[in-house]
Amino acid sequence: MTALAALIRRDIRIALRVGGGALIGVLFFLSVVMLMPFAVGPDLALLARLGPAILWLGALLASLLTLDRLFMADHEDGSLDLIVMSRTPLELACAAKALAHWLAAGLPLIIATPILGLLLNLDAAPTSAVALTLLAGTPALTFTGMIGAALAVTLRRGGLLLAVLVLPLSIPVLIFGVAASQAAITEPTSFGAPISILCALSLVSLVVGPFAAAASLRHGLD
Amino acid sequence: MRLLGREISCVRGGREVFSGLDFEVAQGEALAVIGPNGSGKTSLLRLVAGLLAPFGGSIALEGGDADLTLPEQSHYLGHRDALKTALSVSENLCFWRDFLGGARLDPAEMLAKVGLDHAAHSPASFLSAGQRRRLSIARLLTVQRPVWLLDEPTNALDSAGQSLFTTVMADHLARGGLIIAATHIPLGVAARQLRIGDAA
C-alpha cells in the first residue's frame, strides 16, 4: 500500500512541476474550446446546442495528449524495469499510475469545464451536467488509453499510434457522454440510462485496463 | 543462499546470443561476467532480473525467501539510472525506498555515504553522470536486497567513486549478499569470472 501511494504521489508531483503534463492538458482544452466560437460563428443558439459535444471532444483530445508519456517516460529512464521487478504486482502499479494521471490531468479538465461553458453560451445547469458526465466518463478514457500507452511504450514516436489505437475505443464513452449531457439539458427524465452506461464503461475499463496494460508491458520489455 | 543458472540460452531478434550457459554464485560471492561487446552480458543480467524471458534453461535462487521471486529479491543497476529529473535527489531516493519496500535504511545517511548529501535538495537534472551513478548506488544501499545485478557499475564514476563502490560491494558480500556484475574492468573485489561470447 505504501508502494502504491508512493507511486501515485511521485507521478502527481512530476505532473504538477514545470514541464509536467497537468497544465499542458488544461491549456490544450482551453485552446480547443476557445477556437470553437470563432469557427462556428456568433450563433448563440447553435453554440449552446453544440456546447456539450465540443466540451467532450476537447476533454477527450486533451486527455490523449498527455497519455502517451504515461509509461514511455518510465521506460526511457529505466524506472519501468524496477517497477516490473518490484514486489508490487504490475497490474496494481499500472492502476496506480493511471489513477495518478487521472488526478493530475483529468480532474483539472473537469474543474475547468464550468469556466469554458461560459464561452459556449451554456448556463450553469447545463455546464454542471457536462462536468458531471465528464467526472463519470473520463476515468474510462484514462484507463482504456493506458492500454494504448502500454502498447506504444517501446516505439520512439508512439504518440500518433496511441491516438489511432485509443480513439476507436473511446467512441462509446463519447457517445454516452454527450448523450447524457444532452439529456440533462433537454429532458432530465431520460438522464439515468446514458449516465449509468457511462459509469459502467468506466468501471469496466477500471478492471480491464490495468490487466491489459500490464500484459502488454510484460511482452514489450526487451 | 545460492544462485544457479543451468543451460541458459538467449535469443534476441531471431539471433542466438549465447546458449548452454551455466553459472553458480554462492552466498558472499561475486561473479564477474566478461566478454566482448554484444556478447550478451546485459542480456544475461536482464534474464536473471526477469526482464527478459530465457529461450531455454533455468535460473533459480536456492535458500532465499520462499515467498518472493528472484527479481523481487534483486537489485538491478542498469545503464539507465531510473531517476526523475523533475524531482530532487532525496525525493528520488525516498520514492524508491517507499516503492521497493522490504528492509530499509535511512536515505539521508546513504546519500552522505555516497557523497551526495550536499546536493540532497537540488533537482536530479543538475547531477553529472557520475553523480547520477552515485545516487543509484545509494538506492542499492537504502533498500536491502540479497542479490545485486550490476551492469557496468563503475561507468562514469571517478576514482574516488570507484574505490567507494569497491568498499560498498565488499560490505555487501561480507553481509552474505551475492553479486553478478557485467564489466570490462576488474571489479576490485574477489570475483569468479564467467566468460561469454568468446571462441575459447
B127-141 exposure pattern, b = at least 16 Cβ within 10 A, e = fewer = beebbbbbbbbbbbb
* Average pLDDT of every residue of chain B: 87
The Cα B163–Cα B134 span in angstroms is 12
Using a CB–CB cutoff of 8 Å, tell me whether A43 touches chain B.
Answer: no
Q: Which residue of B has its CA nearest to A89?
A: B72
* Cα A198 from chain centre: 14
pLDDT tens figures, B60-95: 888 888 888 888 899 999 888 888 888 999 899 999
* Spans in chain A with pLDDT lower than 50: none
Please report residues of B whose CB lies closer than 8 A to that of A82: 76, 82, 96, 99-100
pLDDT in tens, B157-175: 888 888 899 999 999 999 8
What tens digit of pLDDT does each residue of B41-56 get?
888 999 999 888 888 8
Check the CA dihedral A207-A213-A215-A216 and report its sign: positive
Sorted by sequence, the CB contacts under 8 Å of residue A192 that are 6+ apart come out as none
Residue pair B147/B107 in contact by the 8 Å Cβ criterion: no
Q: CB distance from B148 to chain A under 8 Å?
A: no
A1 and chain B: CB distance < 8 Å anywhere? Answer: no
pLDDT at residue B199, as a whole number: 46
List strands edge to edge, sheet with B2-12: B15-26, B2-12, B56-62
Cβ-based burial of A218 (10 A; exposed 0-12, middle 13-18, buried ≥19): middle
CB B192 within 8 A of CB B31: yes
- Predicted pLDDT at A98: 95
Q: Regarding beta strands B30-34 and B178-182, do their DSSP bridges make them parallel or antiparallel, or are they unpaired?
A: parallel
Give the distance between the most distant pair of CA atoms in chain B. 50
**Interface residue of B99, B127, B145 to substitute, partner A, most A CBs within 10 Å:** B99
Cell (9 digits) for A56: 467532450
Q: Is A85 on the interface with B (CB under 8 A)?
A: yes
The whole-angstrom separation of Cα B101 and Cα B148 is: 16
A13–B50 C-beta distance less than 8 A: no
Chain A positions touching B81 (Cβ under 8 A) are: 77-78
Q: How far is B132 from chain A (nearest CA, A)?
A: 12
Q: Which CATH number fits domain B2-195: 3.30.750.24, 3.40.50.300, 3.20.20.70, 3.20.20.60?
A: 3.40.50.300
**Spatial contact of A133 and A59, defined as CB atoms under 8 Å apart:** no
Which of A13, A78, A88 lies closest to B78 in CB terms?
Answer: A78
Beta bridge partners of B122: none
Residue among A19, A83, A222 whose CB faces B86 most closely: A19
pLDDT of residue B198: 65
Q: How far is CA A15 from the centre of its chain?
A: 14
